[in-house]
Amino acid sequence: MAGRPGGGPGTLRALGLPRLQPLLGRLLDPAPTPPLPAPGAAPAPAPVPTDNLRRVARLFARAGFGATVAEIQQWAATGYTATIDHLLGFATSNGRPDDLEVLALQEVATANDPNNPPTLQPYQRWWLQRMATTQYPLEEKLTLYWHGHFATGYVKVRKPGLMIGQNRLLRSQAAGDFRALCKAITVDPAMLIWLDGDTNHKGKPNENYGREFMELFSLGHDGGYTQGDVREAARAFTGWTVDKQGNAAFNAALHDDGTKLLLGQSGPWGAADVVDIILDRHPRGPVAAHYVAGRLASFLHSPNPEPQVVQAMADAFVASNYQIKPMVRALLLRPEYTDGPARNIKSPAELVAGTIRGLNLARGDGAVGVVESLLGQPGNTTAANDLLAQQCDTMGQVLYDPPNVSGWHGGTAWANTATLLARYNFAARAAQLVTDDQLGALLDGTPAPAPQPWMLRLGLLDLSPATSAAIETYVAAARAAHADDKTVARGVLTLLLASPDYNLR
């Protein structure tokens, strides 16, 4: 498979497919990974084509947070298209019970206590837990995408409740209506604070939101707008404020109701009109559809998506009047996506959540269970909070606090000496968090140094020759030093988690 480190076509170095079934049969795990709902009553008995296994494995890595090889096999037997339909088939979160309510209540309880100021960490922990355990992984993946797209930072908002409110908005439209999402985010309280909409008043407009809305949220840096359009959009956006309770409110006295000239269209435009004009009446056509499609493709697919892929996504976006789901579906069906060589680097949140999922570290009840597992010190929730925040932070991704309004750049920007060291250290820590009991069950009947049991859990169908050889060399050296089975098994897991193979998707 071109693009894997040193891998040739069809190379299945460490986990030969002929051996897959016997290994699966031996895999004993008392606490299976949070289940994706099984497709039908039983896995189809027919042999699954290798290509489809690869497609489904990569699909879950990119459109979800990974899956075990057993799950991959089941879904591959069901079929690639049916798997896409399943992933895209989540109902809007508004129709489901929402554990955010609990956290919101917790925050209210502590908001007025100066000795216990609200922090982001319970919300970061909650979201990672949700990514790791959800039955609707694409909902979380798209919510994560929109968080980076409409990047809003806690550093300035300073109110966790408003960040959570925005997260709820992003989730409610994660695969929904982009036009409605744009109109709602424009008057979202966190956004109004973040880009100064709440002080953008008639007479002396503040350009901050108007510029970033066009440059980053809808049209792109070269999206055919001028400084004049920025100024006129800022006028149209005037009048929205945030009250003391954290609710957005429109104050007509602060709104400039005069005529604005925006992208050649003249009228007494308000906030919603700006969105409609940008989407429907840009003199160069559907510039926004191409920009959003390209940015989404660079996240879900490849840092440099093929033009024809972006075109197909933009076409589906326009044809559906800016519905997000058809655009995503168009991408997931493209041959460049299913079979192309291009790889992307997992974001830190994907890496952490996927590892919690694959290693079944989300034990215990609720959000605290994850963190305690990660820390290995049940009950020490303060330290646990710090540790979990640090995992993503040092890898370059602080949830609810992106580095600036342009979000996380992703792709190769995730890989530098600071963040790769953080990834190695995460791997080493995670490997220590697998309990002896879990190790014992996992290794039952399998030679301790073998990477196969871990690969089955982590959804790795194969390894590059370099990683295979590195693990062999490590095992030999550890054996020669008389390391015990559990040490070596954890060492193999460390290398797998740190390997380029696992960090790519």
Partner 1 sequence: MQITRRHFLRLGGALGAATVIAPAWLSASELQAAAAGAGPGTGRKLVVMLLAGGNDGLNTVVPYGTGDYYSKRPIINIPQAKVLPLPGAPGFGLHPSLAKLQSLYTQGRVAVVQGVGYDKPDLSHFGSMDIWQSGNPATRQASGWLGRYLDRTPGRGGALRAVSIGNSLPKLLTGETTAGIAISSLGGFRFADGADTPGSEAARLHQGYLDCCSGVTGDPATDALLTGGRTTVGAVRSIAALAKANSPSTATLADQVATAMTLLTSSLGVEIVMVTLGSFDDHAAENPNHDRLLGLVDAAIARFHDMAVATGSPDKYLLMTFSEFGRRVNEDGSGGTDHGTAAPMFLVGDGLAGGMYGAQPSLSALDPNGNMVRAVEMREVFSTVLEGWLAGPSAAQILGYGPGDGIHPVRFLRSVTSPAAPAHPAIAY
Footprint of partner 1 on residues 296-355 (CB under 8 A)? 302-304, 341-345
User: What is the smallest separation between the CB atom of 451 and partner 1, expressed in angstroms?
Assistant: 11
Among 50, 92, 404, 435, binds partner 1 (CB under 8 A): 404
186 interacts with partner 1 by CB under 8 A: no
Give SS3 for 260: strand
The helix/strand count (H/E) of the chain reads as 27, 4
Using rule CB under 8 A, residue 206 touches partner 1: yes
Integer Cα distance of 243 and 189 in angstroms: 9
Shortest CB 218 distance to partner 1, Å: 14
The conformation of residue 94, written as its DSSP 8-state character, comes to G
Residue of 21, 259, 308, 416 that binds partner 1 (CB under 8 A): 416
For CA atoms 487, 492, 498, 502, the dihedral sign is: negative
Neighbours of 198 (CB within 10 A): 20
Angstrom distance (rounded) from CA 135 to CA 254: 45
Contact status: 207 vs partner 1 (CB under 8 A): yes
Pairing of strands 240-242, 265-267: unpaired
CA distance linking residue 66 with residue 134, whole number of Å? 11
Closest approach, Cβ 198 to partner 1, in A, equals 8
Which tokens belong to 83? 């798997």
CA dihedral (488, 71, 80, 2) in degrees, to 10, reads: 0
CB of 357 to partner 1, least distance (A): 21
- Tell me: does residue 70 bind partner 1 (CB under 8 A): no
Could you say which DSSP state residue 38 is in?
A: P
Options 230, 263, 359, 362; binder of partner 1; rule CB under 8 A:
230
Residue whose CB is less far from partner 1, 319 or 413: 413
The residues in 485-504 that bind partner 1, with binding defined as CB under 8 A, are 487, 491, 494-495, 498-501, 503-504
Query: Count residues contacting partner 1 (CB under 8 A)?
Result: 78
Residue 111 binds partner 1 (CB under 8 A): no
Sign of the CA dihedral running 72, 62, 127, 372: positive
- Closest to partner 1 by CB, 333 vs 470, is 470
Q: Which of 106, 110, 119, 199 binds partner 1 (CB under 8 A)?
A: 199
Residue 349 and residue 167 in contact, taking contact as beta carbons nearer than 8 Å: no
Site string for partner 1, 417-456 (x = CB under 8 A): xxxxxx-xx--xx--x------------------------
Angle at 188 (CA atoms; ends 405, 252), nearest 5 degrees: 120
CB nearer to partner 1: pick between 174 and 489? 489
Of 139, 188, 215, 372, the one binding partner 1 (CB under 8 A) is 215
Q: Which stretch binds partner 1 (CB under 8 A): 138-146, 306-314, 361-369, 415-423?
A: 415-423
- The residue from 51, 107, 177, 196 that contacts partner 1 (CB under 8 A) is 196
Q: Is 383 a residue that touches partner 1 (CB under 8 A)?
A: no
395 binds partner 1 (CB under 8 A): yes
Contact range with partner 1 by CB under 8 A, out of 53-61, 89-97, 204-212, 438-446:
204-212
Among the listed residues 197, 362, 332, 223, the one whose alpha carbon sits nearest the alpha carbon of residue 279: 223
Query: Rule CB under 8 A: which of 146-165 touch partner 1?
Result: 155-156
Which parts of 450-479 interact with partner 1 (CB under 8 A)? 464, 466-467, 469-471, 473-474, 477-478
- Is residue 399 part of the contact set for partner 1 (CB under 8 A)? no
Q: Which of 227, 253, 283, 365 binds partner 1 (CB under 8 A)?
A: 227
Considering the complex, state which of residue 295 and residue 429 has its C-beta at the smaller distance from partner 1: 429
Give the DSSP letter string of 458-504. HT-----HHHHHHHHHHHHHHHHTT--HHHHHHHHHHHHHHSHHHHB
Residue window 248-287: x/- pattern of binding to partner 1, with contact defined by CB under 8 A: ----------------------------------------
Buried b (16+ CB within 10 A) or exposed e, 351-365: bbbbbbbbbbbbeee
Residues 6+ apart with CB under 8 A from 47: none
Q: Which residues pair with 267 in a beta bridge?
A: 260
